[in-house]
Amino acid sequence: METRIQREARPESMLINMGPSHPAMHGTIRIMLELDAERILNAEVEVGYLHRGFEKTCENKTYFNLLPYTDRLNYVSPLINNLGYAMTMEKMLGVGVPERAQLIRVLMSELSRISDHLTCLAAMAMECGAFTVFLYMMKAREFLWDVIEFTTGARMTTSYIRIGGVRADLHPDWRGSLATAVRETRRVLKDVSGLLDKNSIFQGRTRGVGVISKEDALSYGWTGPCLRSTGIPYDVRKASPYLIYDKLDFEVPVGEFGDNFDRYRVRMREMEQSLRLLEQVAALIPGAAPITGEPAIEPAEAIRVSRRQKTAARIRLSPNLEGSEKARYADLMTSDRPAALGSTACGVVVPPKEDTYTTMEGLISHFLFFMNGHGIRPPKGDVYFSVEGGNGEVGFYVVSDGTDRPYRLHLRAPCFHVVSALEQLIKGRLLADVIPTFGSMNIIAGELDR
């Protein structure tokens, strides 16, 4: 089978493959190049190597069960994917989220955004030969992921932000780990700026390379840092604020020329803004009230007691267990029960495990939530909602037919639109320019190929 580039190739030029498995291709993507010596005459990008039928799979899962699949879209910032999906469903169901859960969501979004940018720039710098930058940034990312891991129990596959709230309260020691992460990230950003900003090798490979005009960037549907590098200050957090972003103080950094260096600078400055946001949000989150009442008892003991009579005792459950925090539910999970769900429905959040284990009503509502054909059943209709992800606008388009599974779920992946411009950006440039251009775009094959 001939590809487009093979049909169009000049007889005297050389055709060469970059990828799908190439050391400089983070993510499996194939770039076919037509070369005249080092000059790229023509290029063709082939994607889909990581296509795993995300949208088809979602059509066969319940609204609650498909959440872990969203972790695997942009796997560097899974919490933002969780957030995008959860907020799409909240928009459809018409439920509100408690204040504390909203603050935690902002905190988690910004942590993810920084780790996303760090990963992108680390890989980009490494591919340009700056291995030190890679190590520094990976180190900072680990501190950020510590905060995430303490609270969510996972580094990447978090599934922490749920429809109607967040799964559990923050780790008791979250302030300490967050302060460390912010301090270490600031230090790394300063070091990296010192290493790269005036580095002539880095400048030579990024300045004036991979330039895109404002008009082209819009025509390609670019969003996020890549679009902002051309000077257009479009940020979903400012354009249509969600959560509490309208009450927070942050700037939207923009570039000037839309080249690789601007994309690098925009990401660096955006991380500084995200660090500011982290500090603001941390100050806004009140300390969790100590749980009062009877001392906690072990689950086995609670079951034994509840065989004789209903127990009001607190049950000691692992904080990582699903819904083990009944006392915190009012702060973390919505108690809204949308009228559209019908009178027999049990709401949109998992009933507390304490109730499930000890009362008949709790067990019934647990089954109602998880049984086939029950659970979350949004009204018929379609909805689109988007949040600002690490790469740009992460949008979910959901069509409901009134059952407990989405009739159609579509992800608007920001990467997809950015990569579609790659052919244009590298045409006419040198072979070596592919690497920094590709790196500055931050390709995440998980969301690109779905």
Q: Which of 142, 146, 149, 216 binds other proteins (CB under 8 A)?
A: 216
Which residues from 6-25 bind other proteins, rule CB under 8 A? Answer: 6, 15-17
What element of type H or E holds 354? helix 353-358
Q: How far apart are CA 275 and CA 345, in angstroms?
A: 41
4 is a site residue for other proteins (CB under 8 A): yes
131 is a site residue for other proteins (CB under 8 A): no
Q: Which of 24, 35, 72, 91 binds other proteins (CB under 8 A)?
A: 91
Of 17 and 21, nearer to other proteins (C-beta) is 17
Cβ at position 17, least distance to other proteins in Å: 5
Token reading at 356? 């499930």
Which residues from 59-78 bind other proteins, rule CB under 8 A? Answer: 59-60
Amino acid at 193: S
Number of helices (H), then strands (E), belonging to the chain: the values are: 20, 8
Q: How far apart are CA 407 and CA 62, in angstroms?
A: 10
Contact of 258 with 425, CB cutoff 8 Å = no
339 is a site residue for other proteins (CB under 8 A): no
Nearby residues of 7 by Cβ (< 8 Å), 6 or more positions away: none
Q: Which of 132, 221, 340, 429 binds other proteins (CB under 8 A)?
A: 221
Tell me which DSSP letter residue 295 carries.
P
57 is a site residue for other proteins (CB under 8 A): yes
Cis bond leading into 20, ω under 30°? yes
Contact of 294 with 316, CB cutoff 8 Å = no
32 is a site residue for other proteins (CB under 8 A): yes
Place of tokens 């009062």: 292
Of 115 and 391, nearer to other proteins (C-beta) is 391
Residues that contact other proteins, how many (by CB under 8 A): 48
318 is a site residue for other proteins (CB under 8 A): no
Cβ at position 431, least distance to other proteins in Å: 15
Residue 5, phi-psi category: left (phi > 0), alpha (psi -120 to 50), beta (remainder)? alpha
Q: Which of 224, 225, 395, 446 binds other proteins (CB under 8 A)?
A: 395
Q: Which stretch binds other proteins (CB under 8 A): 56-64, 136-144, 279-287, 306-314?
A: 56-64
420 is a site residue for other proteins (CB under 8 A): yes
Q: Which of 186, 314, 374, 408 binds other proteins (CB under 8 A)?
A: 408
Cβ at position 314, least distance to other proteins in Å: 39
With both helix axes pointing from N to C terminus, report the angle between 260-284 and 434-441 in degrees, rounded to the nearest 10.
Answer: 20
Nearby residues of 178 by Cβ (< 8 Å), 6 or more positions away: 107, 147, 278, 282
β partners of residue 18 = 31
Binding site for other proteins (CB under 8 A): 1, 3-6, 15-17, 32, 47-48, 51, 53, 55-57, 59-60, 91-92, 216, 218-221, 232, 234, 239-240, 381-384, 393, 395, 397, 399, 407-408, 410, 412, 416-417, 420-421, 424, 449-450
